[in-house]
A and B are shown apart, each in its own frame.
Chain A
């Protein structure tokens, strides 16, 4: 899969996320508690709610609709009502740009 330029590193506050739409799909890009950047699918696996309005707590993203939580580093579903893991995507930083490897 190609690397896609998603945003600037300064576009995402520390411990926050933004929405990134590309190729008919939506993604969430995180600026993690460890200073690194991560990317997952943008919709909650429970009811297709955009995660970009949710809350980053350490390494968790909490869905704004039902408070389900995922570990955004691995995509693992950590708190009900989410049961299905979130897809994750490789991320790299070049200069001040964040690139993600997505279809």
Chain B
């Protein structure tokens, strides 16, 4: 495969459609219907508990940070608040965009809107982008949520640990959305019936940021921005760290999530922040299973999956060298062994689509 074209209007997008890649049926592990129904079952209790804990901790950390402001004693509290604001909001946005966190729709919607604001995503745009990410995961030119393109832009990846690139991109898009609705690229995956909503949401977000900025100027202090806006920068590192591991260094243009997604076993604090999205192969294969049932889903299908990475550090030790190698050899990716109990990988598009290169296993 030549140089990848990640534009949603580019040559790779066209080829993916023409080859049938976008309409292909993805691999799923076999599970009895009764087991699946049990795993898919919805409830409010786990998410209410976690949401009360999240918002309670945020209020406590922000209040303590404010009380200790501007001394250095406030720093640990802002760091903790920042991770909850700038990283836990990513997983809440994600799970609630699927509508699986709560059984009660208004609870999903409320947490989704709050999380979308904190993570700086237009709630009316990004649910559609995420639908495409699930339909065509890491299909070049089709998936608008490819976090690590090839060759990887290491400087941008490092800057994004502080949300720099995301925030720089967010505000011009926010203003454009507020004035004229979705951008041209966004209009490829947001239906026209939702364009007015995209604009309204952007106007609300813009008004909140403007009010916060006015308050900061009036008070002559950045304290209001420490509560709203800046935590998306100083607290982004955790969601970037875990987000890179979701698909980084793995295959693209395949129709088997075991080839393009990564499950990583993590410590309980990271799992709370990340809301169990460390079970990422499982989530992509069965997106209707709520976050709190993903550990059980993992146990049910692990005989059909490559072994998970046993820690964040181990997963980075696998991914980072692969990204470095992709700097000079774009087609390289990590292909992990399947256990003897698993069905073979679906690699048909790698093998048969003209112009696409056969997979190269990791050494």
Contacts and interface: CB of A to CB of B under 8 A. Distances in A.
Interface of A: 16, 46-47, 53-55, 57, 62, 64-67, 69, 79-81, 83
19 contacts: A16-B33, A16-B37, A47-B135, A54-B288, A55-B40, A55-B42, A55-B288, A57-B42, A64-B286, A65-B135, A66-B131, A66-B134, A66-B135, A67-B98, A67-B287, A69-B99, A79-B105, A80-B127, A80-B128
A18 B135 CA distance: 23
A62 B99 CA distance: 10
Contact of B127 (A46, A53, A64, A81): A81
B71 interface: no
B103 A81 contact: no
B167 interface: no
Contact of A83 (B40, B100, B135, B191): B191
Contacts of B135: 47, 65-66
Interface SS of chain A: helix, strand, loop or mixed?
loop
B57 to A, nearest CB: 28
B36 interface: yes
Contacts of B191: 83
B351 to A, nearest CB: 24
B341 interface: no
B155 interface: no
A46 B127 CA distance: 14
Nearest to B103: A57
B35 interface: no
A83 B197 CA distance: 14
Contacts of A54: 288
Interface residues on B, range: 20 to 34
Interface in B24-49: 33, 36-37, 40, 42
Given A16-B37, A80-B131, 4 more contacts: A16-B33, A57-B42, A65-B135, A81-B131
A19 to B, nearest CB: 11
Contacts of A16: 33, 37
User: Most chain-B Cβ atoms within 10 A of its Cβ — which of A62, A67, A79, A83?
Assistant: A67
Contacts of B100: 67
B267 interface: no
B131 to A, nearest CB: 4
Contacts of B36: 53
A69 B100 CA distance: 12
B193 A83 contact: yes
A27 B42 CA distance: 25
Contacts of B127: 80-81
Contacts of A81: 127-128, 131
B121 to A, nearest CB: 15
A65 B98 CA distance: 10
Contact of B288 (A47, A64, A79): A64
Contacts of B194: 80
A55 B134 CA distance: 18
A79 B286 contact: no
Contacts of A57: 42, 103
Contact of A65 (B37, B103, B287): B287
Nearest to A16: B37
Top 3 nearest A-B pairs (CB, nearest first) are A81-B131, A55-B40, A66-B131
Interface string B6-40: 00000000000000000000000000010011001
B190 to A, nearest CB: 10
A62 B289 CA distance: 11
Interface in B73-110: 98-100, 103, 105
Nearest to B105: A79
A64 B99 CA distance: 12
A55 B99 contact: no
A64 B287 CA distance: 7
Contacts of A64: 286-288
B288 A67 contact: yes
Contacts of B288: 54-55, 62, 64, 67
B30 to A, nearest CB: 12
Given A16-B37, A81-B127, A66 B193 contact: no
A64 to B, nearest CB: 5
Contacts of B40: 55
Nearest to A50: B25
